[in-house]
C-alpha cells in the first residue's frame, strides 16, 4: 500500500518532529539568506555621554532613538550594521532615564566601520541633534563592560513651594527608618518594595547661585544604587510622603546629575568613561615573519 505524500506547504511528521514541506521553488525553512554582501565589520567603538534638558526631558527613549539615528545619517557617520533581513545601526543604549526626568549623564555606544576622532564625531552629532539633546563627551571604547559600571545615579530633586525646614525633617525621618515600603504600578498590578535600602545618600542642599528660587523651594540631592527592582526618584518622594507626610503641591523637577560606579568611601558617583581615557591604546597586530619591501 503506497504512502500518501503530504501536500506542499502542509506540515508532516518525521520521527515525532513536525516539519513543513516547502512549496515548489522555495528553500527549506532556516535556509534563507539575505541578498547582497554581508555588512562591513566594526573596527572602532565610541562611547558617548549626552543630555536631556529643558522640554526634551519629556522625550521618550524611542523618540530619542529616532532623533539620534537621524543625526547619525545626517552626519554621515560610518556606522556598522547588524546582519539579517532588517539591518539596523549598532547602537547600545545603557540605563536610560525615565520619561519626564532631565539628565546630564546618559550613555550609549556606537560601532563604526571606519576610525573617527571622538571629539570631531561629537561636534558633528551636535550639529544635527536638537538643542537639549547634546553630546557632552566622547571617548574611544578601550575597555569592556560599560553597562556594568553604571551601578548608581546622583539625582537632583527640586521641590517648589516646599520649605527647606520641612524637607530636612522628612529626610531625617526617611534616613532613620530601617525600611520604607512604597508601591508602584507594574505590569502585573501594584508592587510593594523597600525604597530605603537602595538610597546611599539623601540631603537638602542650598540652591545654586545661577539658579535662583522664587519663594519656598527645597533642593534634594539623592544618590541611589541601581538595584532590582529599580528605585527611582519618584519612589523616594513616595517614601518621604509615607514617613513624614511630605507632599509637594507641584510636581518635582528631577534631573540626573551623574551615573557610574558608586565609591563607598567617598559616597560619590564616579565617571564611567574614566577607564577608557586612562587605558593605553593597543597597537594593531603585525604579521610575523614578514619584512618591509625595499623601495
Q: pLDDT tens digits for 80-131?
A: 999 888 888 999 999 999 999 999 999 999 999 999 999 999 999 999 999 9
Q: What is the mean pLDDT of residues 205-234?
A: 87
Task: Decide: 266 and 114 in contact? Cβ < 8 Å.
Answer: no
Clarify whether residues 59 and 156 are in a common domain.
no
Residue 16: band (very low, low, confident or very high) from pLDDT cuts 50, 70, 90 = low
d(CA 224, CA 154): 7
State the CATH number of the domain containing residue 211.
3.30.70
pTM of the entire predicted model: 0.80
Domain containing residue 79: CATH number? 3.30.70.580
- Tell me, yes or no, whether 164 and 263 share the same domain: yes
In a domain, 179, yes or no: yes
Decide if pLDDT at 211 tops 70: no
- The residue among 113, 148, 183 that closes a domain is 148
Q: What is the pLDDT of residues 237-278, one digit of tens each?
A: 999 999 999 999 999 999 999 999 999 888 899 999 999 999
Asked, for residue 287, whether it belongs to a domain, the answer is no
Q: If pLDDT is split at 50, 70 and 90, which confidence band does 5 have? A: low
Higher confidence at residue 71 or residue 206?
71
What is the domain count for the chain? 2
Q: Which residue has the cell 534631573?
A: 255
Measured in degrees and rounded to the nearest 5, phi and psi for residue 265 equal -70, -45
One domain for residues 162 and 52 = no
Quick one: 107 and 210 in the same domain? no
* Domain shared by 136 and 116, yes or no: yes
188 is a domain residue = yes
Whether residue 265 sits in one domain with residue 156: yes
Cell readout for 92 is: 547600545
Last-in-domain residue among 124, 148, 172: 148
Q: Can you give the three-state secondary structure of the chain, one letter per residue?
A: CCCCCCCCCCEEEECCEEEECCCCCCCCCCCCCCCCCCCCCCCEEEEEEEEECHHHHHCCHHHHHHHHHHHHHHCCCCECECCCCCCCECEEEECCCCCCCEEEEEEEEEEECCCCCHHHHHHHHHHHCCCCCCEEEEEECCCCCCHHHCCEEEEEEEEECCCHHHHHHHHHHHHHCCCCEEEEEECCEEEEEECCCCEEEEEEECCCCCCCCCCCEEEEEEEEECCCCCCCHHHHHHHHHHHHCCCCCCCCEEEEEEEECEECCCCEECCCCHHHHHCCCCCCCCCCCCCCCCC
Contact 242, 180 (CB under 8 A): yes
In a domain, 288, yes or no: no
On whether residue 125 sits in a domain, the answer given is yes
Residues 6+ apart with CB under 8 A from 55: 132
pLDDT of residue 21: 55
Co-location of 118 and 154 in the same domain: no
Residues 102 and 199 in one domain: no
Range of the domain at 60: 44-148
Do 133 and 157 sit in the same domain of this protein? no
Mean pLDDT of 62-72: 95
Domain contains 29: no
Residue 18 is assigned to a structural domain of this protein:
no
User: Could you tell me which of 47, 62, 64 has the C-alpha nearest to residue 130?
Assistant: 64
- 267 with 165, same domain: the answer is yes
Q: Torsion-angle region of residue 16: left (phi > 0), alpha (psi -120 to 50) or beta?
A: left
Domain match, 80 and 129 both: yes
Can you tell me the mean pLDDT for 205-229?
85
Kindly state whether residue 281 falls inside one of the protein's structural domains: no
For the stretch 44-64, pLDDT in tens is 999 999 999 999 999 999 999
Residues 166, 71 share a domain = no
Amino acid at each position: 500500500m503506497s504512502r500518501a505524500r503530504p501536500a506542499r506547504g502542509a506540515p508532516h511528521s518525521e520521527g515525532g518532529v513536525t516539519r513543513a514541506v516547502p512549496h515548489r521553488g522555495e528553500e527549506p525553512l532556516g535556509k534563507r539568506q539575505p541578498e547582497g554582501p554581508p555588512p562591513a565589520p566594526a573596527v572602532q567603538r565610541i562611547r558617548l555621554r549626552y543630555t536631556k534638558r529643558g522640554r526634551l526631558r519629556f522625550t521618550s527613549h524611542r523618540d530619542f532613538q529616532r532623533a539620534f539615528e537621524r543625526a547619525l545619517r545626517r552626519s554621515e557617520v560610518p556606522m556598522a550594521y547588524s546582519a539579517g533581513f532588517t539591518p539596523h545601526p549598532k547602537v547600545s543604549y545603557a540605563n536610560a532615564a525615565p520619561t519626564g526626568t532631565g539628565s546630564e549623564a546618559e550613555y550609549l555606544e556606537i560601532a563604526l566601520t571606519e576610525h573617527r576622532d571622538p571629539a570631531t564625531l561629537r561636534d558633528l552629532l551636535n550639529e544635527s541633534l536638537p538643542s537639549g539633546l547634546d553630546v557632552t563627551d566622547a571617548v574611544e571604547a578601550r575597555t569592556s563592560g560599560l553597562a556594568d559600571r553604571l551601578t548608581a545615579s546622583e539625582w537632583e530633586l527640586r521641590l517648589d513651594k516646599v520649605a527647606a525646614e520641612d524637607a530636612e525633617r522628612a529626610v531625617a525621618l526617611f534616613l532613620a527608618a530601617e525600611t520604607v515600603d512604597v508601591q508602584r504600578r507594574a505590569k502585573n498590578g501594584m508592587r510593594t518594595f523597600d525604597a530605603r535600602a537602595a538610597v546611599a545618600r539623601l540631603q537638602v542642599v542650598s540652591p545654586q547661585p545661577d539658579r535662583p528660587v522664587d519663594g519656598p523651594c527645597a533642593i534634594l540631592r539623592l544618590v541611589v544604587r541601581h538595584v532590582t527592582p529599580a528605585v527611582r526618584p519618584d519612589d523616594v518622594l513616595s517614601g518621604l510622603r509615607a514617613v513624614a507626610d511630605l507632599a509637594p503641591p507641584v510636581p518635582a523637577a528631577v534631573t540626573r546629575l551623574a551615573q557610574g560606579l558608586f565609591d563607598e568611601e567617598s559616597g560619590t558617583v564616579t565617571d564611567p568613561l574614566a577607564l577608557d581615557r586612562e587605558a593605553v591604546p593597543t597597537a594593531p597586530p603585525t604579521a610575523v615573519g614578514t619584512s618591509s619591501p625595499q623601495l
